[in-house]
Amino acid sequence: MPTKEKQGEQTAKWYEIAYPASAYTFPGEALLHRVHFDQDYMQLELTDGRTLSVPLWWIPTLHNAPPEEREKYEISQDRKMIIWDPDKCSINDEVRIEDYLAPRLTDDVSEAKG
């Protein structure tokens, strides 16, 4: 219930909280469960129920590869990377899911090159 405003003071309106913080689900560590591809995206299903869609044009090796070659991936033992083995397909690349969960500053990329 709001309180009366005294001269020159502001009041805050309080609302009842419907659910306690313990009722919410917060993501844990991001681990791969499944990977799917469509024409434009790589869909990463995580073990905690999240799905992450990564545009294929962000990853030139996948974007330019035939669809059947994209499917020849392996999920790493720690479930944090997708690996394409050049001995098994025409793609030689690794994708870390952590790279697509948090923003990356442009300066980080240029420092790594230079």
The CATH code of the domain that includes 93 is: 3.30.2020.40
Q: What is the pLDDT of residue 84?
A: 97
62 with 70: CB under 8 angstroms?
yes
pLDDT at 114 over 70: no
- Both tokens of 91, joined, read 């793609």
Q: Which helix (H) or strand (E) holds 68?
A: helix 67-70
Range of the domain at 98: 30-103
- Tell me if 15 is assigned to some domain: no
**Distance between CA atoms of residues 72 and 90, nearest Å:** 9
- Both tokens of 29, joined, read 């560590």
- Tell me if 20 is assigned to some domain: no
Mean pLDDT of 85-110: 85
- The answer, as to whether pTM is greater than 0.85, is no
- Tell me if 38 is assigned to some domain: yes
**Distance between CA atoms of residues 77 and 87, nearest Å:** 19
pLDDT tens digits, 12-39: 888 888 888 888 887 788 899 999 999 9
pLDDT at 95 over 90: yes
